[in-house]
Structure 1
């Protein structure tokens, strides 16, 4: 068993402490554990060049024989980190919460994952064996849930492209100073429990794995997100009364016998489940169709583009 801890907070800060405690539980169970702090690595921003997705499309359509990956892979440490992830059975990620959301350092790292879409790399043979990774997520903030409402959800949304099955999440609250969490024994114990849950998931057959965290966490029965929104019609006509903003599960809000609202999945509510490779492939089909439409109307685009290319405003 091999588990990688990934921290996007300061050295010896609360995020790192909690990830170390979770890794300690994994180590006690016999796992080989490694820990990286993203502050120690050079990670470039995704430039939005579309080089990866254009290559993926060309390989899928038989227009190219080889996928060369991200154009930045020889310029920073991202490729090294992702290749290490592919050797692991699990990752445990600890991130501080800034302005309700995961820190920018973590998002800079995670938003480079598109070039490493695992299901695609497996399909073309660039990755030989699916590691079937499971994950544990820890978000750390100085306040309660009301000031971390997008933290775990934002982290969860970055797991899809790596096909990581999140089996546990922890929201660490009221920890505004480095080491603050050391005053909260229950949070240290909860991090240790996460490590135990990670080992339990690794040792469970892939098809039998499931959620091991707090059963009452969140509203979505699929990913345990607390973010449910009024559904909109999808590009292909699919529509649900309400949807999970993270995993895309569809259903409706229903009052139970105690008068509390529950998010109940529709019979076909998981057809857009972003945890499933086939559902993400439908999103790729959507993007392909928008590109086809774009290229078919290039003359119109070029005609209108001139105005904005020539329009200049002073910078600061």
Structure 2
């Protein structure tokens, strides 16, 4: 079995060091490993053209408008597709993983991947592949980092939130400083062993992290308040707080697990219906009347003529 590690951090710095410690542990369990630095790959940003979406809706193979030789997207995704498990490591930039990860994930529809598409691939053994994440931050300004990183990792491997473990390390602001903290190296190695333990099994992927956190699916503590109920911001599963005698929240009583989340068949059907209803309301595609088309054409011409966009100026400092 093969595990791929992707680092979105600096070369041989904290994210990469911890990732390699995890991969070395996987290798020690008798599995093959591979490693990629995301910054080595030139990946164009999604433009929202919807070529991939319309191809999928027409029953044709999904692909991006960019051909395979126009950037490095397909090169990296071929490595992801060939892997049996994934470990994703990244630093925190402004509370979040680096934007380059978002650029990669935004292109996934062009490869026929993403958890939202997994519902249409029931029975595919690739949906079971395990994922783990390593989040590195200089301080505690990392509240959005692990939840988003976990989502990105499972989207990348199209696994419906098959998270095995997550490691969040803070207090590492300097290049390679994690090398001075053996406990973090050891914990990353444990993460690697946990991923290795979940490879190739036909049963459900088991979460082996230190604590379950709040959400029973993605194990995030990032919750939002919607219609008087708590919801996981990532999985959309709902629940109600259980208040202890001291007035604090002891836990959340959830409606269920993966079967009621946005990553389930139920969630996929709900998403598709919502999108379909939006299409009907917006009169998209063939439902446009000639009057609709003319009105949109005139509006685009009017708004297009208002304000010319700024142009890049690389001589700004000269």
Calculate the TM-score normalised by the size of structure 2: 0.84
Residue 16 of structure 1 is matched in structure 2 by 16
Query: Per-residue CA shift, 1:10-60, capped at 9, x if unaligned?
Result: 11010000000000110000010000001111211111111111111121x
Pair 1:179 & 2:173 matched: no
- Show the 5 A alignment for 1:232-247: 232=227, 241-247=229-235
Residue 192 of structure 2 is matched in structure 1 by 195
Residue 235 of structure 1 is matched in structure 2 by none
Query: Per-residue CA shift, 1:109-130, capped at 9, x if unaligned?
Result: 12212223267589589x9753
Give the direction of change, closer, same or farther, for the CA distance of 1:165–1:128 in structure 2 (3 Å limit): closer
Matched position secondary structure for 1:86: helix
How many Å apart are 1:106 and its aligned residue?
A: 1.6
Give unpaired runs (5+ residues) of structure 1: 60-65, 233-239
CA contact (8 A) 1:231 1:243 kept: yes
Residue 255 of structure 2 is matched in structure 1 by 266
How many Å apart are 1:9 and its aligned residue?
A: 0.9
Candidates 268, 285, 293, aligned match of 2:281: 293
Candidates 137, 146, 153, aligned match of 2:147: 153
Q: Distance in 1 between matches of 2:258 and 2:2?
A: 30
CA contact (8 A) 2:222 2:233 kept: yes
Matched position secondary structure for 2:195: helix
Residue 207 of structure 2 is matched in structure 1 by 211
CA contact (8 A) 2:22 2:190 kept: yes
Matched position secondary structure for 1:254: strand
How many residue pairs get aligned? The number is: 297
CA contact (8 A) 2:105 2:155 kept: no
Give the direction of change, closer, same or farther, for the CA distance of 1:83–1:258 in structure 2 (3 Å limit): farther
Q: Distance in 1 between matches of 2:130 and 2:164?
A: 7
Candidates 141, 147, 150, aligned match of 2:137: 141
Query: Per-residue CA shift, 1:217-251, capped at 9, x if unaligned?
Result: x321221111111115xxxxxxx711100111111
Give unpaired runs (5+ residues) of structure 2: 312-318
Alignment RMSD (CA, Å): 2.6
Candidates 108, 112, 127, aligned match of 1:113: 108
How many Å apart are 1:273 and its aligned residue?
A: 1.2
Query: Per-residue CA shift, 1:168-217, capped at 9, x if unaligned?
Result: 1111111111111011111111100100110112154333x22110124x
Candidates 97, 100, 109, aligned match of 2:92: 97
